Amino acid sequence: MEISLALTVFLLSLTLIYWISATRSPQIPGPPPHPFVGHTFQVPIVKTWRYFEKLSLKYGVLRCSFMIVVCFNKLNAGPIVKLTLAGDDMIVLSNPSDAEELLGRRSHNYSSRRPLVYAGKYLSKNLRLVLLPYGEALKRQRAAFHQMVQPRGLRSVMTGYQTNSCQAVGGYEDMQDTVSLRLLMDLVTTPTDWSHHCARFSASLVFKLTYGQQLDDDGKDLASLEDILATLMKDFYPGAHLVDTFPILDRLPDFLAPWRAGAQRKHLMEAGLYTRLTSEVRTRMGSDLGLECFAARLWDQQEKMNITPEELAYIAGSAFTAGTDTTAGTIEWFLMAMVLYPSTMLKAQEEIDLFFSSDTIPGYSAMNDLPYCFALVKEVFRWAPVAPAGIPHCSDADDVYNGFTIRKGTMIIPCIWNMHHNEAEFPNSYTFDPERFLKSPNDSPNSLTEGHYGFGFGRWVSPSALNIATDFPCRRKCPGQYLAAKTIWIAIVRVLWAFNIEPCRDASGNVMNPDPDDCTSGTACKPNHFLMNLVPRSAAHVKTIMLGLEHM
């Protein structure tokens, strides 16, 4: 009798525990917070993605502390980790399927941004597209940005427009051809300045596309734009400034908030530059009816798209800032990978040499003939993503995902580093191994960006198929991804064709390998300067480069 009663009480208790567990949303796992401030001072500003990686490994699976039968349905929830910053929730996603569901399929609820006082209100005056919260301004500016980067009608710099944006980027190839040849010549002339040459390569291309002119010879515009980029990469990320974590600090008077004047000075500098460049385009449009560039297209469509001159200047500036640092950084990571993994360089060069001798420079027509090179570029994207911590999103309403409640206003961080270094998907993920991508039969030019989560989440929708005034989708997927990927491909293949990339040696002859962890930190990251030798493969290669430039 006593045994039966005890068993009944046990089963009733178990049922009650299970019912409570089933009716209450489980808590997203995460480290224990500090009183009042939560995890505010636990999240490092420098190399945040490394901290997210540790959290994912430690807290990424919700574990059961009592009966397995009680919460078996909540196990294996995936690497989702929750932090609290001064009372606000932050969720870090490390699984691509979670990010695709929330930021792709449920993008209507996760396309916003958490307001940033420093970078948004004062530095950008709420004009910068990447920082705008969900709303009419975001939809209007994003529609304008998509229309701007579509190759349609850019006659003077592009040919052969097709409605499919994945194919249409082929129209940029003449310009990419010219600028990549200049990169090779610069590397021949002053190989130790490789970082500067990579920056100028990407800046020259994007500047020409955006403003329809070459960068000035004295380098003043390039220097100003590089200063702006350096500022943005540091100031954008949450936690970079205390006022973004504790917005109440914005109520302080100016003499107690010197950061406010600093942000406003930066705004005046960048707004002045953006406005001058777009105004120059408008002036040239009066005398050059055939002028075609991103800014000219914005001026042509300004009234239709209902954007102000200030918004126009920042939209054009966003095209430059979005494409320059990321492209240059990716090429620099490629150079480091070749120093650390010389066998991959040799394999790529062997493949290139099958089709191109020293008197023939590789071009886009060979993309499908160079599968190893194609895989090598994809591996660069994976091995060293230039935005490893991801770009924060924000939820517009309460939501439930996998049983977890996500509150309105929660910051969602898609940690690209964790996704690209998932051992289940990418075994030996810290090793640079292009052959991991040779298993896929899809080696078309468009697949350069597939499987690389730094380009965003969700299905691409061409704005040409939509009424941009009413139903333009607000997925934050990179609209210039195909242009960027093909630009990087041509630069990498041509550098491999022209140069041997070798490590430096110390006085004793020992190899001095760079450290992949020695990199910048911020929204975008690239290697800090490291030593290497860029050696032309032959005098004939150099001669071919010079002849190619003469005929441009």
- Provide the domain limits for residue 244: 111-385+421-550
Task: Return the closest-CA partner of residue 370 out of 206, 233, 493.
Answer: 493
The alpha carbon of 135 is separated from its chain's Cα centroid by a whole number of angstroms, namely 23
What's the pLDDT at 411?
A: 93
pLDDT band at 462 (very low <50, low <70, confident <90, very high): very low
Please check whether residue 45 lies inside any domain of the structure. Answer: no
Tell me the C-alpha distance between 39 and 88, whole Å. Answer: 10
What are the beta bridge partners of residue 362? none
User: What are 139-143's contacts with CB under 8 Å, separation 24+?
Assistant: 139/472, 139/474, 140/305, 140/306, 140/307, 140/311, 141/307, 141/311, 141/315, 142/472, 142/474, 143/305, 143/463, 143/468, 143/469, 143/472
Place of tokens 């120059």: 280
Number of neighbours of residue 548 by Cβ within 10 angstroms: 19
User: Quick one: which H or E segment has residue 82?
Assistant: strand 80-85
Encode pLDDT of 102-161 as tens digits: 998 998 899 888 888 999 999 999 999 888 888 888 888 888 887 777 654 343 333 332
**Cα distance between residue 316 and residue 312, in whole Å:** 6
Residue 166 pLDDT > 50: no
Annotated binding residues for heme, written as ranges, equal: 478
Tokens 């901290």 map to which residue? 51
* Residue predicted with more confidence, 541 or 212: 541
Residue 390 contacts residue 66 (beta carbons within 8 Å): no
pLDDT > 90 fraction of the chain, expressed in percent and rounded: 45
Neighbours of 527 (CB within 10 A): 20
The CATH number linked to 116 is 1.10.630.10
Mean pLDDT of the chain: 82
pLDDT number for residue 25: 59
Task: State the residue for tokens 């009424």.
Answer: 467
452 vs 477: CA distance, rounded Å: 12
User: Does residue 158 form part of some domain?
Assistant: yes
Q: Give 399's pLDDT tier (boundaries 50, 70, 90).
A: very high
Q: Which residues of 386-420 are buried (b: 16+ CB within 10 A; e: fewer)?
A: bbbbbbbbbbbeebebbebebeebbbbbbbbbbbb
Is the residue at 33 inside a domain?
no
Q: What is the pLDDT of residue 472?
A: 40
Question: Does the residue 326 lie in any domain?
Answer: yes
Look at residue 499 and tell me if it is in a domain.
yes
Q: What is the pLDDT of residues 38-83, one digit of tens each?
A: 888 888 888 999 999 999 888 865 433 333 333 333 333 357 999 9
505: helix, strand or coil: strand
Question: What span, in angstroms and rounded, lies between the C-alpha atoms of 314 and 294?
Answer: 12
The region of weakest confidence among 316-320, 349-353, 403-407, 486-490 is 316-320
| Residues tagged in the binding site annotation | 478
528 part of a folded domain: yes
Alpha-carbon distances of 507 from 510, 511, 512, rounded to whole Å: 7, 10, 10
Contacts of 3 (CB under 8 A, 6+ apart): none
**DSSP code for 118:** I
Is 534 in contact with 191 (CB distance < 8 Å)?
yes
pLDDT band at 219 (very low <50, low <70, confident <90, very high): low
The pair of three-digit structure tokens given for residue 171, joined into one six-digit string: 């129209």
Q: Quick check: is 132 in a domain?
A: yes
How do beta strands 80-85 and 499-505 pair? unpaired
Residue 475 covered by a domain: yes
Indicate the Cα dihedral angle 442, 445, 451, 452, nearest 10°: 160
- The CA R_g of the chain, rounded to the nearest whole Å, is 26
The tally of domains found in the chain comes to 1
